[in-house]
């Protein structure tokens, strides 16, 4: 007997479990809500979850949770509908809901009204048995009218109307009576004011083929069907068995808002918008949305307001929070790229406790609040958020079946100018939102743009000055050797170069040489004036000066005193040459030059010539070269990533090293700093090795306007090899955009080895090394992606990543620096220049002696003759007198004798003569000639008779050796002449 009883229970349990899936929350209506009450049914736990004031978290009207158990474990609930506060909403203590169920053991349908006490959670039930069925029902739909007066229900076979106040069935019809011309199977129901829409599958009763998706307009007052019409005409035939039994693939949904109806057909990825007429519905829009990552578009639908609709679809490509997404559209623009926003999003996430659920029921209340039922019978409550607020996930502290969102102030860089269910919108370029609690406004704050470097891009928190975080690099262009790398050419060019600028003129050797030449010329003029003038008292000083200059003559080896004057210019020029050579010698190497060349007009002069090229790393190197390469390979890189104008904090950031495939290793972050005043978060970590690929993971609903990445490494010295410290920073930004949700920044590394040869060949060569870092092909913006696939995707990514890759070239840059001239070469070149200058001046003297002086003498003679003719013509002298004068002029005697010494003589002629007596002039010339032979043997001299004086006068012209005396005992040149003076 006991065995038979157990066997019978097993059969009953097996039948019940097969025909009634208690874990399936998608079938029927297991969730219902309005702004006062929320009820969900769980057949698996035989329980109703009741939440009073589910969307209100204020302290004055607190939220209340109640659990209402089923009356029996053999009850199976198909649908539930909330009624609200009892007595038409006036009683705030008692709340009512209704549910349609089935007694599984006898397949009896019933409707039940439940009244729940807010204070005690006690429930009172009023059950009404409808009928017995020969099989379990697949669809048992109920709805409550807007006045909370009647409950309307539809099963596979009947339709009924129940008055709530009396709990009486006022109308009970068969579906054949309600729709006599068609066979219609209801799948979805929603009620308006005195009218309802039932959506399901039907076909003509006479033909019994070509099932179509239909909507039927029901008049709730008379409870009759006013019209039925096909929504979508399909080319395929439906299998009736799939329609007569429950199959989620053939589910449809419907929602009413005032006079508008929204129908979702997820099997066809289609939604239909209809508008109520007097006795029928008119189709206004039909949208079919397809995408490679989207399916079941229209699984659930709802109205947010008169203009905005909500559509549920399976969308697994862009979100990790759930397998379903709610797309919110303007009803006049529905496409795969046109959603206004979606739920969930990066500001309104779904916590990990829900394990990526599917949404199986969507409820949007009259006030715009949202309630969702998941496939595991969890309930999500999302209240409407006011201006500048968004409803965000609140992590529950205890195990629960209902999960709440609560309005929070918009995060930094976003705003919200109207109440709604969606997230806050990013601030437009040129505006900002600091994201602080005291900020409240309907739009972002305009940026002042006080500086040209003011950076106020999309989603800005602050007005950032880019000058505070510039890009910089240690690498500069390697110097190029000058056009002239021969020291002879450099020396000559700088010695004889002159520039009229004051800074250059004051250090110009040629200028000071000209100054010395001008001074020498002035001395020569003074000496000449003293010689030709009547200042006999200065002759002694003149003689001393000549002696001094004669002894300093480098050109004629002490023969000419004028050569001594030219020697001053030589000394000036050569001194500048020595100064230039010594100073130029010290300008090596270039790394030790910190000041401009102040000894030449060209301040960039350096004693270095450069060569650069590429060399392969695979080629064997010398010991010194290999040492610097080893130092470069062993240098440790520290990376600092600075997120600019961002809301990400240190708690939101992790760093990983990407390994083969999808594997990775977490990296330790030893340093992370957050600066609130300029919205910068800085992360520093060590690169595992030079070929690493590292990734920053930033979770949260934030963006970054820009990022600066810095590479740093310490210096090291080993023998004659020096590794330079690495310090490189590069700023990355997208114009008026945020960084991409997945940015990639590839760094290219290349070794630079500088080889500096020593000034002395016996000393060792110095090697120095530095890394060259450059970035090519960084992907920084998702703007093209958003433009192609929809701007709503900006808010769908939960994770923002920056991937930094490193790659080293197989060759390196080799720079060689060596001096143009070394010490010994400089000394030799200076001596050669000195000899060259002396020879140049000597050559100029030779040219003067051979060409200039003869021409000058000839010109002086011609000028004197011409002057005499002019004077004779003006005085109108008689012919005889003119002849005498010409004869006297022709009788002037010029005698040149070589004398060893000129003793002091008396220069008084023995004979007097008259200027107009030619014979006397000749006699006197003979007498003077005899006297000159007496006192001045073997010395050259010139005597010229004058017509004015009674005796000839001795005039000294030149004497390079200063060995003669004049008539008064003074030294005179070896060439003398008596100059004829005019009367």
Same domain, 770 and 645: yes
Q: Beta-carbon neighbour count of residue 133 at 10 Å?
A: 18
Q: Which of 118, 122, 114 is nearest to 142 (CA)?
A: 114
DSSP secondary structure letter of residue 759: S
204, part of any domain: no
Pairing mode, if any, of strands 799-808 and 742-756? parallel
Are 638 and 497 in a shared domain?
no
Using an 8 Å Cβ cutoff, are 645 and 706 in contact? Answer: yes
Phi, psi of 855 (to 5 degrees): -65, -40
Convert the pLDDT of each residue in 283-328 to its tens digit: 999 999 988 778 899 999 999 999 999 999 987 666 778 889 999 9
pLDDT range class, residue 504, cuts 50, 70, 90 = confident
Instruction: Count the neighbouring beta carbons within 10 Å of the beta carbon of residue 283.
Output: 14
β-bridge mates for residue 142, sequence order: 153
Q: Are residues 629 and 749 in the same domain?
A: yes
CB of 769 within 8 A of CB of 634? no
- Averaged over 794-803, what is the pLDDT? 90
Residue 138 has pLDDT above 70, yes or no: yes
Tell me the backbone φ, ψ of residue 363, rounded to 5 degrees: -130, 125
Phi, psi torsion values for 648, nearest 5 degrees: -65, 135
Strand partners of residue 723: 716, 769
Q: Which two tokens stand for residue 572?
A: 């000036």
CA distances from 13 to 41, 44, 356, 780 (A): 21, 14, 31, 61
**pLDDT single digits (tens) 582-641:** 888 888 888 888 888 888 888 888 888 889 999 999 888 888 889 999 999 999 999 999
Q: Where are the alpha helices (DSSP H) in 848-960?
A: 853-875, 879-890, 918-935
Instruction: Name 431's bridge partners.
Output: 446
| Total domains present in the chain | 4
- Residue 13 DSSP SS3: helix
Q: According to the model, what pLDDT value does residue 962 have?
A: 41
Q: Do the Cβ atoms of 363 and 32 come closer than 8 Å?
A: yes
189 within some domain? no
What is the rounded distance in angstroms from the CA atom of residue 460 to the CA atom of residue 447? 9
* pLDDT score of 154: 94
State the Cα–Cα distance between residues 141 and 28, nearest whole angstrom. Answer: 7
Indicate the angle between helix axes 561-586 and 509-532, nearest 10 degrees: 170
pLDDT of residue 594: 82
Residue 936 CB: number of other CB atoms within 10 A?
Answer: 21
In a domain, 291, yes or no: no
Exposure class string for 685-708: b at 16+ Cβ within 10 A, else e: bbbeebebbbbbbbbbbbbbbbbb
Per the CB < 8 A criterion, the answer to whether 378 and 357 are in contact is yes
- CA-to-CA distance for 181 and 147, rounded, in angstroms? 31
Where are the alpha helices (H) located in 684-789, listed in sequence order? 783-789
State whether 703 and 849 are in the same domain.
Answer: no
In eight-state DSSP terms, residue 279 is S
- Residues 201-223: what's their mean pLDDT? 85
What number of CA atoms fall less than 13 Å from residue 336's CA on the CB side?
Answer: 15
Residue 712 lies in a domain: yes
Contact 72, 108 (CB under 8 A): no
Using the predicted structure, report yes or no on whether residue 4 has a pLDDT greater than 50: no
CATH at residue 120: 2.130.10.10
Given a contact cutoff of 8 angstroms between Cβ atoms, the answer to whether 264 and 301 are in contact is yes
pLDDT of 167 reads 92
- Distance CA(228)–CA(186), nearest Å, equals 12
Query: Do 535 and 570 belong to one domain?
Result: yes
Q: What is the model's pLDDT at position 452? A: 66
Same domain for 883 and 855? Answer: no
Let me know whether 587 and 544 are in one domain.
yes
Cβ–Cβ under 8 Å, residues 487 and 829: yes
Q: Is 32 helix (H, G, I), strand (E, B) or coil?
A: strand
Instruction: Report the alpha-carbon distance of residue 530 to residue 979 in Å, rounded.
Output: 17
Q: What is the mean pLDDT of the chain?
A: 81
> Under the phi-then-psi rule, with left for phi > 0, alpha for psi from -120 to 50, and beta for the rest, what region is 699?
beta
Q: What HEC string does 932-983 produce? A: HHHHCCCEEEECCCCCCCCCCCEEEEECCCCCEECCCCCEECCEEEECCCCC
Q: Which two tokens stand for residue 134?
A: 């020969």
Instruction: Give 261: exposed, middle or buried? Use CB within 10 Å, 0-12, 13-18, 19+.
Output: buried
Q: Which of 425-439, 791-805, 839-853 has the lowest mean pLDDT?
A: 839-853
Q: 581: closest CA among 592, 566, 597?
A: 597
Residue 127: its pLDDT value, please?
94
Q: Which of 793, 818, 843 is the last residue of a domain?
A: 818
Residue 838 tokens read as 């002396």
DSSP state of 734: B
pLDDT of residue 534: 66
| Residue 87 Ramachandran class (φ > 0 left, ψ -120 to 50 alpha, else beta) | left
Cis before 589 (ω within 30): yes
Do 104 and 57 have their domain in common?
yes
Q: What is the Cα–Cα distance from 526 to 535, expressed in whole angstroms?
A: 11
430 by DSSP, 3-state: which?
coil
* DSSP-derived 3-state class of residue 472: strand
Q: How far is the C-alpha of 365 from the C-alpha of 34, rounded, in Å? A: 5
Tokens of 689: 């090795």
Centre a 10 Å sphere on the Cβ of residue 635 and count the other Cβ atoms it contains: 19
The full 3-state SS of 131-182, as one line of letters, equals: EECCCCCCCCEEEECCCCCEEEEECCCEEEEEECCCCEEEEEEEHHHHCCCE
Q: Are the CB atoms for 57 and 406 separated by under 8 Å? A: yes
Task: Tell me the mean pLDDT in the region 90-117.
Answer: 91
Cβ-contact 509, 580 below 8 angstroms: yes
Same domain (yes/no): 642, 754? yes
Q: What phi and psi values does residue 389 have, to the nearest 5 degrees? A: -130, 155
Question: Pairing between strand 260-265 and 253-257?
Answer: antiparallel
pLDDT on residue 556? 67
Could you tell me if residue 699 is inside a domain? yes
Both 561 and 651 in one domain: the answer is no
- Domain membership of residue 555 as a residue range: 486-597+822-874
pLDDT score of 658 more than 50:
yes
Residue 795 φ/ψ, nearest 5 degrees: -110, 10
pLDDT > 70: percent of the chain: 83
Point out the least confidently predicted range of 224-238, 521-535, 821-835.
521-535
Q: Are 505 and 631 members of one domain?
A: no
Give the number of other Cβ atoms within 10 Å of residue 289's Cβ: 20
Distance CA 953, CA 965 (A): 14
> Which residue among 152, 174, 196 closes a domain?
174
In a domain, 931, yes or no: yes
- Which of 223-227, 270-274, 882-886 shows the lowest per-residue confidence on average (mean pLDDT)? 882-886
Please provide the distance, in angstroms rounded to a whole number, between the alpha carbons at the two ends of the chain. 181
% residues pLDDT > 90 (the chain): 41
- Beta 975-978 vs 680-686: how paired, if at all? unpaired
Among the candidates 130, 150, 174, a domain finishes at 174
pLDDT at res. 272: 96
Q: Is the predicted pLDDT of residue 538 greater than 90, yes or no?
A: no
Phi, psi of 930 (to 5 degrees): -65, -40
Alpha carbon separation from 252 to 189, 564, 748, 909 (Å, rounded): 10, 119, 56, 154
pTM of the model: 0.73
Give residue 876's pLDDT band: very low, low, confident or very high (50, 70, 90): low
What letter does residue 207 receive in the DSSP assignment? Answer: T
Tokens of 483: 């056009």
Average pLDDT over residues 247-274: 93
**Residue in 815, 824, 662 with CA at minimum distance from that of residue 753:** 815
pLDDT at residue number 236: 67
125 lies in the same domain as 145:
yes
In whole angstroms, give the CA distance from residue 610 to residue 591. Answer: 13
DSSP letters spanning 540-570: HHHHHHHHHHHHT-TTTTSS-HHHHHHHHHH
pLDDT for 208 beyond 70: no
Cβ atoms of 708 and 731 closer than 8 Å:
yes
What average pLDDT does this structure show over 729-745? 89
Please check whether residue 883 lies inside any domain of the structure.
yes
| Highest averaged pLDDT of the listed ranges 171-175, 844-848, 878-882 | 171-175
Q: How far apart are CA 151 and CA 244, in angstroms?
A: 24
Residue 221 lies in a domain: no
Helices (H) and strands (E) in the chain, counts: 15, 56
CA distances, 257 to each of 146, 224, 304, 307 (Å) = 11, 21, 9, 10
**Local confidence band at 929 (pLDDT 50, 70, 90 cut-offs):** very low
Alpha helices by DSSP H, 147-274: 175-178, 240-244
């Amino acid at each position: 007997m006991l065995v038979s009883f157990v066997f019978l229970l097993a059969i009953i349990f097996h039948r019940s479990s097969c025909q009634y899936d208690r874990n399936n929350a998608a079938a029927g209506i297991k969730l219902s809500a309005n702004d006062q009450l929320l009820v969900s049914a769980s057949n698996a736990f035989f329980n109703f979850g009741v939440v009073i004031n589910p969307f209100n978290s204020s302290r004055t009207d607190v939220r209340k949770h109640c659990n209402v158990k089923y009356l029996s474990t053999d009850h199976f609930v198909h649908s539930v509908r909330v009624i609200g506060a009892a007595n038409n909403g006036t009683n705030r203590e008692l709340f009512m809901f209704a549910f349609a169920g089935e007694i599984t053991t006898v397949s009896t349908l019933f409707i039940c009204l439940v009244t729940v006490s807010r204070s005690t959670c006690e429930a009172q039930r009023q059950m009404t048995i409808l009928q017995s069925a020969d099989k379990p029902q697949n669809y048992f739909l109920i709805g409550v009218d807007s006045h909370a007066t009647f409950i309307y229900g539809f099963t596979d076979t009947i339709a009924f109307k129940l008055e709530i106040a009396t709990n009486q069935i006022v109308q009970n019809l068969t579906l054949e009576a309600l729709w006599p011309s068609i066979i219609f199977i209801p799948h979805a129901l929603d009620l308006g004011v005195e009218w309802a829409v039932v959506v399901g599958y039907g076909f003509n009763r006479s033909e019994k083929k070509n099932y179509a998706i239909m909507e039927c307009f029901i008049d709730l007052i008379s409870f009759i069907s006013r019209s039925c019409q096909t929504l979508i005409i399909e080319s395929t035939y439906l299998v009736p068995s799939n329609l007569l039994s429950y199959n989620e693939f053939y589910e449809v949904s419907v929602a009413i808002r005032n006079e508008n109806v929204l129908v979702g057909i997820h099997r066809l990825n289609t939604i239909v918008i209809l508008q109520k007429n007097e006795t029928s519905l008119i189709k206004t829009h039909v949208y079919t949305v397809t995408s490679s990552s989207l399916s079941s578009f229209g699984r659930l639908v709802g109205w947010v307001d008169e203009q905005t609709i909500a559509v549920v679809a399976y969308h697994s490509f862009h979100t990790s929070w759930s397998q379903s997404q709610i797309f919110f559209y303007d009803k006049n623009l529905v496409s795969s790229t046109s959603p206004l926003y979606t739920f969930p999003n990066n500001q309104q996430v779904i916590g990990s406790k829900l394990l990526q659920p599917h949404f199986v029921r969507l409820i949007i209340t009259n006030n715009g609040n949202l309630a969702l039922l998941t496939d595991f019978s969890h309930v999500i409550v999302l209240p409407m958020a006011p201006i500048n607020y968004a409803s965000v996930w609140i992590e529950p502290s205890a195990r629960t079946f209902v999960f709440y969102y609560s309005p929070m102030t918009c995060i930094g860089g976003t705003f919200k100018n109207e109440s709604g269910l969606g997230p806050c919108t990013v601030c437009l370029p040129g505006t900002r939102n600091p994201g602080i609690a005291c900020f409240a406004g309907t739009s972002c704050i305009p940026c002042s743009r006080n500086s040209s470097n003011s950076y106020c891009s999309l989603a800005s928190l602050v007005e950032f000055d880019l000058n505070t975080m510039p890009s910089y690099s240690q690498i500069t262009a390697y110097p190029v050797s000058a056009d002239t790398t021969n020291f002879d050419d450099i020396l000559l060019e700088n010695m004889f170069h002159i520039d009229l600028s004051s800074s250059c003129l004051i250090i110009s050797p040629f200028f000071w040489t000209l100054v010395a030449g001008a001074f020498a010329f002035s001395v020569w003029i003074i000496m000449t004036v003293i010689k030709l003038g009547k200042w006999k008292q200065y002759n002694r000083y003149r003689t001393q000066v000549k002696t001094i200059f004669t002894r300093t003559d480098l050109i004629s080896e002490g023969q000419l005193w004028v050569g001594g004057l030219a020697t001053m210019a030589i000394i000036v020029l050569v001194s500048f040459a020595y100064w230039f050579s010594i100073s130029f010698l010290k300008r090596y190497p270039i790394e030790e030059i910190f000041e401009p060349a102040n000894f030449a007009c060209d301040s960039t002069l350096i004693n270095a010539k450069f060569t650069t090229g590429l060399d392969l790393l695979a080629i064997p190197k010398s010991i010194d070269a290999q040492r610097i390469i080893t130092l470069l390979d062993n240098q440790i890189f520290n990376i600092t990533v600075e997120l600019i104008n961002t809301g990400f904090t240190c708690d939101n950031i992790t760093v990983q090293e990407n390994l083969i495939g999808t594997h990775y290793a977490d990296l330790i972050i030893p340093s992370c700093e957050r600066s609130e005043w300029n919205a910068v978060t800085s992360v520093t970590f060590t690169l595992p090795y030079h070929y690493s690929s590292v990734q920053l993971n930033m979770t949260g609903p934030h963006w970054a306007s820009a990022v600066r990445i810095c590479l740093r490494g310490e210096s090291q010295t080993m023998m004659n090899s020096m590794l330079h410290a690495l310090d490189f920073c590069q700023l990355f930004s997208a114009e008026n955009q945020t960084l991409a949700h997945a940015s990639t920044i590839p760094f290219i590394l290349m070794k630079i080895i500088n080889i500096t040869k020593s000034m002395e060949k016996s000393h060792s060569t110095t090697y120095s090394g530095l890394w060259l870092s450059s970035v090519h092909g960084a992907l920084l913006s998702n703007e093209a992606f958003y433009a192609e696939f929809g701007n709503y995707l900006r808010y769908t990514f939960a994770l923002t990543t920056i991937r930094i890759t490193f790659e080293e070239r197989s060759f390196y840059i080799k720079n060689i620096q060596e001096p143009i001239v070394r010490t010994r070469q400089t000394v030799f070149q200076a001596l050669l220049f000195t000899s060259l200058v002396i020879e140049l001046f000597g050559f100029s003297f030779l040219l003067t002696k051979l060409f200039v002086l003869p021409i000058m003498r000839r010109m002086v003679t011609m000028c004197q003759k011409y002057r005499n003719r002019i004077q004779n013509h003006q005085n109108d002298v008689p012919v005889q007198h003119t002849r005498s004068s010409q004869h006297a002029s022709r009788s002037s005697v010029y005698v040149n004798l070589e004398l060893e010494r000129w003793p002091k003589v008396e220069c008084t002629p023995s004979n007097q003569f008259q200027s107009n007596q030619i014979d006397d002039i000749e006699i006197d010339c003979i007498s003077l000639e005899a006297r000159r032979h007496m006192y001045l043997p073997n010395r050259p001299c010139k005597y010229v008779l004058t017509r004015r004086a009674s005796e000839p006068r001795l005039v000294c012209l030149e004497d390079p050796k200063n060995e003669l005396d004049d008539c008064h005992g003074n030294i005179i040149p070896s060439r003398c002449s008596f100059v004829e003076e005019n009367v």
